[in-house]
Every structure is written in structure tokens, then in C-alpha cells.
Structure 1
Amino acid sequence: MTLTKKMNDKEVPKQGMLQNVMKQFDAASELMNLNPNIKKILSVANNELIIHFPVRMDNGDVEIFKGYRVQHNNALGPYKGGLRFHPTIDIDAVKALAMWMTWKTSLAGLPYGGAKGGIQMDPLKYSTSELERITRRFAYALGDNIGPEHDIPAPDVNTNAQTMAWIADTYMSTKTPSERSKNQHVVTGKPVGSGGLEGRDRATGFGVFLTIKYWAEYKNIDLKDKTFIVQGFGNVGYWASHFLQEVGAKMVGVQDAFGTIVNPKGLEVESLLNHTLANDGSILGFPDSEAVDKDSFFELECDICIPAALGNQITEERARKIKAFLIAEGANGPTTVEAEVILKDRGIDIIPDILCNSGGVVGSYFEWLQNRNGELWGLDEIMIKLDKKIKEVFKKVYETSQLKNLDMRSTAYMIAIERIERAYIQRGIFP
């Protein structure tokens, strides 16, 4: 039975992602014969923080919020991971997301570990001034549990550059004047004028596009005139669609929190973005589109499916109905383990989340380096660096998967976990 929870009068799945990531981890551990002692370490998070904090609302009332920060592992470097504001956030979901971040940063070859966090709330119910106070109070409550060389948050679902600017300012205000300049990189994903990276907004979606592009090149498939559908038309979904349209692919279906629209002849990406900006973020009412039932989204005729919203969206039932020949996981954990078995049996390829959406954390690493070293990089240079890194990681995963006759998720997990295992073996375990 799927438990659900109300959000804006719509039913959304209650995330059970922890079971999913643990099944994936167990399967990869068995395949690679992971050292049992290291498996014990990686099976649990290093630290789990649950914070209750009060915030005064615009009407003078005080509301209590619940925030989370889970630091899964830092064997390879500081904890790194996003903050999301969403009603479905709970400790299990954050633990799962933190573990995925550990694998993602390791797979990308970055000097980071994995963390995740957020606040259990629906941000649409609060004014901008209330969101600022909620964010700043949460950052203050986290205190030195975050830090530029310890744990570096970033944007995630329902958070953005403005959110990061509030957190950075709050954190730096707790430091002495001489320390403030050394703490700007406490978060990444900041506005460009506040130490952010040029192009960070498109990094994750660009990475999704690049992994699709390189997959197509290995398969000798021309993306021109190929059709795709996108679940989630936020930062990731929009930019992935933008770059796919640039190479001639055609978006034929989109789903967001408001509904689902289709047009077999194509939906123009930039026009849809402008429509959402003028309609409180909603895709509904877009000209030359038809609104269809939300449950029909994964049944739409298409070549490529990009889930770029929340976890556990592709279930067993939906996996049997998917028409695409490729699923590119723009979201974290969008496919259940049981659904993946069905998709593999049907011959549908999956570019796993820890590879597909890693452009965001690679971009975050570039921003962190810029702040740390006092450098400034131009957009063209950044896009070239992103492309080079994603190409390098994709090549390693794809070619190893072919060599070992494994799916890409198993291969990506093994590569990521082997790097962490090697670090533990070389350094030993204290004491």
C-alpha cells in the first residue's frame, strides 16, 4: 500500500526512499564483495540532527518548525548536500538522500562526503519575509554543524540562490569580522553577486542533458527529433529540456505539482518557461497543449523519460506502462528497486541519479573552489569544465558496465563505494 499525504489539495506519494537506497547499497556491496566492516560503517549516518525552532509569522503568531540535517559520511572530505523545504521531508527521507550524496560525490571524484537536510513545510503557504525568517532561524539553529570545511549545504527542492544567500549571511554574522571573508563558501548555489558560480543554475540540468547525449553517442542514436517527457519543470527539468531542444529533440509532455500537459507535435521549452513565470509557476493553461490526467504521465508516447521531481515516482505499476527506451534520473531516487527490475526486463536503459544529476554537485564544487581561492571563472570556462567532468565520469561508468555486463546503476555504485572503501583501508579506522 502506498501512503499519501496532502499537499495543496493534491495527493503525493509519501517517500519511502531509505528502503530503496539500502536495497541498492546491499546489492552493490554483494556484487563487489565489500569489506564487511566498511559496510557496517557505510550502512549508517555519522550524524543525524533534528531541530525544532520557533519563528514569528507576519501576523505575530509563533510557529514551530522541524528541521533536519543528516551527515552520512565524510571519509573523502567535508559533508556536501542540499536543503529542501517540503511537507514530505522526514528523517528517513533525509538519511536516504544523504547516502545518495555520498555515492554521488565519490563517483564524481570530488573531495566531498554526503549530507542532506531540510525543513518539513510547504513553502507556498508562507510569505517571502516569513521564508526569510524561517531560513535564517534554521541556519542559526544549525550553528557550527555546518561550515565551509565541515558541511556545505546547497539548494534542492523548493530552495534557491536566495535561500543560500540568507543562510550564508546568517552564518557569517556569527563570525568575527576577520573570519567572515573566510566563510563565504559555507554554502554553494548562491547568487552570482554574492559569490555564486556563473551557470550554477543550469549545472544539474546541463549534466542530465550531457549524460543523455553521451549515452546516445555510445548507442549511435541521433537525438534530433527524438521525443521526451519531463516530470518537474523546475531548474533541473527546464534546463535539461532547454539543452535537449537545442539539439533538435522534442518535448511532448510535462508534469508539475499543478498538473500534466501534452502535445505530440511538441511543447516549446522557452515559451513554457515564460508561461510558468507569468502563472505562479504552473504549466497549466499553456497554449497549444492539452491537460491530461496526472496518472497518465508515465504512459505517454516518448523516447526519453526524465523524472526530475521527487523520489519513488516510477513504481512497479508505472514501470509496466512506460513507453520510453531511456530513463534519465534528474531527481534523486525516482525509481523503486522493484520497478527497476521490470524496466531492465523490458530492455529500458536507466541513467542512474548519482550519475545523471551529478552536474549540480560538480558545479557546487567549482563555486566552493572559487570562493576558497578568491578566483572568478567565466560562464564559457565553467561549461567546458562541467562537460569535461561529466564526460569523464560517464565514460568510466558506461564502459565499465559493458565490460562487467552490469547495469549502469550497479556499476556506478560499485565505483563510488570502492573509492570510499579504499580510503578506509589506506587510512585505517581510529583508534
Structure 2
Amino acid sequence: NDNQDIEMVKGFRIQHLIDSLPMFGGLRIHPSFSSSDGKINAFKNTMKSSIMELGFSGSSGAINLDFSKYSADEIDRVIDSYIGSVLKNVGPDNDIFGTDVNVNSALLLRVRQSYANRTVAGKNLSECFSATDASAKTGQENFTKDANGLSVSLAVEEWGRRRNIDIDSMTVVIQGFGNTGYSAGKILKEHKATIVGIQTNFGSFYNPYGIDLNDFEKQHRAATADKNIESAKKIDSGTFYTIKTDVFISSGYENMIGRESASLLNAKCVVEGADNAVSEDGENILKERGIYIIPDIIASSGGIFFGTAGNRTSKKTGRCRDILEKSLSERISRALDSIERTAHENNLHSKESAVLFAVRNLIKNFG
């Protein structure tokens, strides 16, 4: 570390279905993310790739330290050591890194640059990072920052079209205001949806006439337990779940929609903007109540799409973002067609049918 002391830091890379290459998955820096969590994420990425027709399998990796307690130089040195340890198992034909918790495009770019001259079996390590994450160097647009927010918004709009709910009359509640929640809300707001509720680490907020996201982003951190902000009224977390809305987007952490919250929800559709946002108990209750779930392997597929198909095609053909967005939209529409058909044929809820369809695709494609 910066004090010249030696610290041992644990890190790992989980690769799922290694007979189907290449793989794709995020690298995160988090003190408590375990290898068991990584196995779930790697499997989830395989499911996303399968249902979105990408032909990749999934991976996941982590470095177990508290990002907030280390300097930028210390973080760089730890990542360098980590990459050196997994060097032989990553690369454009094996395993492609994507962004994840505490590892954004800028941090991946620093790692990419620091290893630009290292090669394994004649292949430059810099190629194992998605070119979309290296936008600052290549001049390409940075697709990945709002990629999952884009896939969430596309899935929401497609769900609305199938139920004759126009986007300009749709109400939306957002749980979690990180990249996914903010970007999904921003896109839906631009398309004339009304954002009536937002929950962040600083509290839960409500405005039946619509929350201005730009004002909210500036104001919500200043809110206290007994203080509203200009763009919304502060409410308790229990009341937040009871807000009447067309769509409830859960983009915070896993299992945020459990038994109690699922019983309180007053929404027509729940969107898993975060992986495993709905727990098994929550899923059963939503199924009993007839509330539709857009599962994570569709809703939060934007990151893996732009990190794999988007990156690959943009490098080969120079495809621009609007063409890639159209391709993502078409894939989401086909995926929703498939899971609704599978649900009808097997008497399943949407989340169950999504996994069944994805597994069937894997068996069909890889045997």
C-alpha cells in the first residue's frame, strides 16, 4: 500500500460454460462479493446472452476490498496484480471484461492502458477489454454507462405497447438511482413517461405530477428525515411501495422485492433493473397477484449486449449507436415474444418462463 505495508487481497474470476467461448462478465471491486455470488452472476450472464441471441457464455470477477479506503494508486496496483494472475485465461477469444460495481469505464481504461504492451500467445491484452469501455482512447461513444438503463427503458416501452399503454400516459416508480435507474428514468422521461416516485440511499420521494430528474439529481442528497425537496415529497419506505403506478423499476440490489414489499406493491409491472431484484418469495407473491415481471435477463441485458455484440460489430462495420439500439430493441421484442409463448404453453410466470426458454436455447445451440 502507500505506507509500504504488504496486504493480502483476495480476487477471483468465475467462468461459466467454458466450452462456449468467448465469455463476457464484469469486474467489480467490493469487500463482500463472494465466489458464490460470482457463480450466480456468471450463470446469469450466460442466460442473458442466450435469451438475447448473442452466442456468448458468462463470467464474473471481483477484487475483495473496500474501494473507499484505498487511494487511486493503490487500486491501480491491486488491479494490475489481479490481471496478471488471470492473464492466461482472458482475452478476446476467451473472456472479455466489462464494467461493474466500483469499476467504471475510466478505471477499465486505465488498466487497459497499463497493459497495452503485454501479450499472451501473441495476443495483446488490451483487446480483452470491450472497445466500448475504452471510448476515451478510441474516440468511440461510450455505450456502456447507460446500457442497462437503455435495455430497461426499451423493455418497459415494449411491455406498454403490448398492453395498449402509451408511453406518454405511463407512470413509473424507480427504486435505486445509480446508472441504471437514472438512465432508464431519463430515457423514459424524454419519451414523455411520468416518474412519480424514486427511492435512493437518501430516502424515498413522491410527486404525483412527475419528478424533474435534473432537479432531483441535484437536490435529493440534501434531504433529511423531516425535510422535503423542491421536486418531490419525502415519504417512508413502506408508503413508497404502495404508490399507484403502471411500472415499478427495481434497479438497486438483489432481493429488494421480497415477501413484504411484493405484498405492498401497487403496480401492473415490475422490472428487474438489477440482477435478482425480485426474491423467490417476492416472485411467488407477484405471480399470485397477477403482477407481470420483466426479468433481469431481458431488462438488464444492455450491458452484455453492448459489451459483446455491440463491441464486435462496431469494430468490424463502424455501426453507430442508433443501429445498435435498434438491434437491441428487436432482440428484446423477440425475447418477450418467446417468454410469453413459453409461459402460456407451460403455465408459468414470466420470470420462470424466461429461464426455461434461455436454458432451452443453450441446449439447442451448444448441446
TM-score, reference length from structure 1? 0.76
Pair 1:339-2:339 in alignment: no
Aligned to 2:318: 376
Say which is worse superposed, 307-316 or 284-293, in terms of deviation.
Answer: 284-293
* Contact 1:197-1:363 within 8 A present in 2 as well: no
Q: Which residue among 353, 357, 365 is the counterpart of 1:411? A: 353
Aligned to 1:242: 186
C-alpha deviation, 1:349, in angstroms: 0.6
Measured against aligned partners, the alpha-carbon deviations of 1:39-58 in whole angstroms (never above 9, x if no partner) come to: xxxxxxxxxxxxxxxxx23x
Aligned to 2:243: 300
Pick closer, same or farther for the CA change 1:264–1:137 going to 2, 3 Å: farther
Pair 1:64-2:64 in alignment: no
The whole-number CA distance in structure 1 between the counterparts of 2:194 and 2:200 is 18
* Contact 1:98-1:115 within 8 A present in 2 as well: yes
* Structure 2 letter corresponding to 1:175: T
The whole-number CA distance in structure 2 between the counterparts of 1:323 and 1:345 is 14
C-alpha deviation, 1:424, in angstroms: 4.4
The whole-number CA distance in structure 1 between the counterparts of 2:167 and 2:365 is 39
* Structure 2 letter corresponding to 1:193: A
Aligned to 2:98: 154
The alignment-based identity, stated in percent, is 28
SS at match of 2:364: helix
For structure 1, the 5+ residue unaligned runs are: 1-55, 426-431
C-alpha deviation, 1:209, in angstroms: 0.8
Aligned to 1:168: 112
Matches within 5 A, 1:21-420: 56-57=1-2, 59-175=3-119, 179-180=123-124, 183-187=126-130, 189-195=132-138, 197-274=141-218, 286-294=229-237, 296-370=239-313, 373=316, 375-420=317-362
* Contact 1:398-1:408 within 8 A present in 2 as well: yes
The whole-number CA distance in structure 2 between the counterparts of 1:297 and 1:68 is 37
Pick closer, same or farther for the CA change 1:170–1:370 going to 2, 3 Å: farther
Say which is worse superposed, 207-216 or 297-306, in terms of deviation.
Answer: 297-306
Root-mean-square deviation (CA, aligned residues, Å) is: 2.7
* Contact 2:11-2:62 within 8 A present in 1 as well: yes
* Contact 1:167-1:187 within 8 A present in 2 as well: no
C-alpha deviation, 1:126, in angstroms: 3.1
The whole-number CA distance in structure 1 between the counterparts of 2:248 and 2:228 is 22
* Contact 2:342-2:357 within 8 A present in 1 as well: no
SS at match of 1:266: coil
The whole-number CA distance in structure 2 between the counterparts of 1:127 and 1:300 is 42
Pick closer, same or farther for the CA change 1:424–1:364 going to 2, 3 Å: closer
* Contact 1:185-1:372 within 8 A present in 2 as well: no
* Contact 1:155-1:189 within 8 A present in 2 as well: no
Pick closer, same or farther for the CA change 1:334–1:376 going to 2, 3 Å: same
* Contact 2:198-2:206 within 8 A present in 1 as well: yes
C-alpha deviation, 1:372, in angstroms: 5.8
The whole-number CA distance in structure 1 between the counterparts of 2:38 and 2:57 is 15
SS at match of 2:59: strand
TM-score, reference length from structure 2? 0.88
* Contact 1:306-1:328 within 8 A present in 2 as well: yes
SS at match of 1:326: strand
Say which is worse superposed, 295-304 or 80-89, in terms of deviation.
Answer: 295-304
C-alpha deviation, 1:175, in angstroms: 1.6
* Structure 2 letter corresponding to 1:112: F
Measured against aligned partners, the alpha-carbon deviations of 1:3-60 in whole angstroms (never above 9, x if no partner) come to: xxxxxxxxxxxxxxxxxxxxxxxxxxxxxxxxxxxxxxxxxxxxxxxxxxxxx23x44
Aligned length: 362
* Contact 1:185-1:368 within 8 A present in 2 as well: no
SS at match of 1:324: strand
The whole-number CA distance in structure 1 between the counterparts of 2:158 and 2:170 is 15
